[in-house]
Amino acid sequence: MSLNPEYLKEERNQAWRAELRSKTKNKERTLIERVKMPELAPAIRVKHQDREVNMGLELEQALKEATRCMDCVNPTCIEGCPVSINIPKFIKYIEKGDILQAAATLKETNALPAVCGRVCPQEKQCESKCFYVDKLDKPSVAIGHLERFAADYERNSGAANIPEIAKPNGIKVAAVGSGPASLAFAGDMVKYGYDVTVFEALHEIGGVLKYGIPEFRLPNSVVDFELENLRKMGVKFETNYIVGRTSSFDDLREEGYQGFFIASGAGLPRFMDIPGENSNGILSSNEYLTRVNLMGAAMDNKDTPVLKGKYVAVIGGGNTAMDSVRTALRLGAQRAMIIYRRSEAEMPARIEEVKHAKEEGVEFMTLCNPLEYFADAKGRVTGMKLNRMGLGEPDASGRRRPMPIEGSEFELDVDLVVVAVGVSPNPLVPSCLPDLKVTKWGTIVVDEDKMQSSISEMFAGGDIVRGGATVILAMGDGRRAAENMHHYLQSKLNN
């Protein structure tokens, strides 16, 4: 979904922006060094599961960083944003010192700015398209840090702005799942005037934002605040409700729901199917993170237990693997190891996550692949066998294919293993809809532009379509689905 160039131009030509541009020469702007995110010291943060590592910019830092942005005629950064935030506009509001307006600009197109400012891989999106990177070979404007700053400023000011909402049209629509795709969908649909209900299977709203991403990266209180904003906008939430099971889609149709957005996520964790993998003490990253994040298992007053390991191996190289291994450190691991079959260059995790993990003392065992696990008489894992890998020619993913090196097997003592090698789509909801077209992997087939499924009033997005992606891509899907469901329902109404 791209923003209308005419609108962008019009906004850019506003007097206040022209004035800001003339106030500081571009030459001066480019001489400013990119801001550094203040971080909690590694020695302190590894002791706290719930203390955020990135502490956020101070006002002075944000104003200075915002000045770096040259308010380009052709803001390519926006092309890199899956939810099409008007990036120069919000940054210029920061430079102007009107932070609340900056926050309001974010909310024009993004239901969860404080979340995105923390967990988006900006370096691969908006920031990779920044003029500084593209043309000047300098570090980009810190768009993500500024986004977080504006959203946090608004939250801390207590003056939360509620976006403008169209007159209610009385048409009921349902979002299935309450992760980022659904929340983005719900935010836009409620703005169009629909009566939106978000249905969640778990007892908490937020999906992966709650069960997956740890508090040290995304505090639950930040997510709750954004959810409260959606509530104030009129979005309704139902927990403990599995659409297709608790009630059928037909039941909901009878209750008047005319459109469905299915964003039930990539629930099913993958395992490697190697000997000993079902031993106790070997668990999926989903299980490990859910116990700690959603159920609060690290806290004494919570009933849910979590196994604590002295020697913890986390298998995988993505953000979930980093979240798991850093959680293990915070729960007292003496050795917390990342085991990844490719090299660090191929790791899908954000560079920032890898950097933070290393600072905290995580060991990176790259080019290593698990072969087998060993357990004691009670079935608890005690060790594993691995082999070393070399890199061959690029494979289908464009990354160099890891190849086992013969005779390189070795053993490692471990008492907890977290498997973070990806997820498969959750079959729970699609299995209730025999007419819904799914791929052989179980992802829902949609028209990519419209996010419309083979059942015309059903749209889908996020990991149930993509099979495993990022928060922001899911949100982009949610927005696209909302726009197209809106067109679909309106044209149906007018015919």
Partner 1 sequence: MNKIIEKTYFSDKVVQLVVENPLIAKSRKPGNFVILRVGEDGERFPLTIAGADPVRGTITLVVQIMGVSSSKLVALEPGDCITDLVGPLGKPTHIEKIGTVLAAGGGVGVAPLLPIVEAFKKAGNRVITVIAARNKDLIILENEIIKWSDEVIVMTDDGSYGRQGLVTAGMEEIIQREKIDECIVIGPAIMMKFASMLTKKYNIPTQASLNSIMVDGTGMCGACRVTVGGKTKFTCVDGPEFDAHQVDFDEMLMRLGGYIQEEKRATEIYSQKL
Task: Work out how close the CB of 293 gets to partner 1 at its nearest, in angstroms, rounded to a whole number.
Answer: 11
CB 333 within 8 Å of CB 309:
yes
Task: Work out how close the CB of 439 gets to partner 1 at its nearest, in angstroms, rounded to a whole number.
Answer: 17
Task: Work out how close the CB of 252 gets to partner 1 at its nearest, in angstroms, rounded to a whole number.
Answer: 11
Element (H, E) at 259: strand 257-262
CA distance 373 to 364: 19
- Residue 398 CA, chain-centre distance (Å), reads 23
CA distance 413 to 360: 21
Task: Work out how close the CB of 104 gets to partner 1 at its nearest, in angstroms, rounded to a whole number.
Answer: 34
CA distance 488 to 481: 10
Give whichever of 131 and 211 is closer to partner 1, judged by the CB atom: 211
Task: Work out how close the CB of 299 gets to partner 1 at its nearest, in angstroms, rounded to a whole number.
Answer: 8
Task: Work out how close the CB of 82 gets to partner 1 at its nearest, in angstroms, rounded to a whole number.
Answer: 24
Give whichever of 56 and 276 is closer to partner 1, judged by the CB atom: 276
CA-based nearest residue to 261, from 492, 470, 464: 464
Give whichever of 273 and 449 is closer to partner 1, judged by the CB atom: 273
Task: Work out how close the CB of 487 gets to partner 1 at its nearest, in angstroms, rounded to a whole number.
Answer: 32
Give whichever of 211 and 311 is closer to partner 1, judged by the CB atom: 211
CB atoms within 10 A of CB 494: 6
Which pairs with CB-CB distance under 8 Å and at least 24 residues apart come from 268-274?
A: 268/423, 268/424, 268/425, 268/426, 268/427, 269/419, 269/422, 269/423, 269/424, 270/419, 270/421, 270/422, 270/423, 270/424, 271/419, 271/421, 272/315, 272/370, 272/419, 272/421, 274/370, 274/371, 274/372, 274/373
CA-based nearest residue to 457, from 210, 190, 173: 173
CB 56 within 8 Å of CB 152:
yes
> Residue 28 is encoded by which pair of tokens?
């001066």
Give whichever of 248 and 456 is closer to partner 1, judged by the CB atom: 248
Task: Work out how close the CB of 475 gets to partner 1 at its nearest, in angstroms, rounded to a whole number.
Answer: 20
Binding site for partner 1 (CB under 8 A): 201-203, 211, 239-242, 245-248, 265, 267-269, 271, 273, 277-281, 283-284, 286-287, 290-291, 295-296, 301-305, 307, 378-380, 426-428
Give whichever of 4 and 301 is closer to partner 1, judged by the CB atom: 301
Give whichever of 161 and 278 is closer to partner 1, judged by the CB atom: 278
Distances (CA, A) of 388 to 22, 374, 408: 58, 18, 6
**What residues does 261 pair with on adjacent strands?**
175, 459
Task: Work out how close the CB of 249 gets to partner 1 at its nearest, in angstroms, rounded to a whole number.
Answer: 12
Give whichever of 295 and 333 is closer to partner 1, judged by the CB atom: 295
Task: Work out how close the CB of 218 gets to partner 1 at its nearest, in angstroms, rounded to a whole number.
Answer: 18
Per DSSP, the residues of 63-111 read: HHHHHH----SS-GGGGG-TT---HHHHHHHHHHT-HHHHHHHHHHH-S
Give whichever of 304 and 490 is closer to partner 1, judged by the CB atom: 304
Per DSSP, the residues of 346-394 read: G--S-HHHHHHHHHHT-EEEESEEEEEEEE-TTSBEEEEEEEEEEEEEE
Give whichever of 227 and 354 is closer to partner 1, judged by the CB atom: 227
CB 312 within 8 Å of CB 336:
yes
Give whichever of 75 and 207 is closer to partner 1, judged by the CB atom: 207
Task: Work out how close the CB of 303 gets to partner 1 at its nearest, in angstroms, rounded to a whole number.
Answer: 4
CA-based nearest residue to 471, from 54, 116, 124: 116
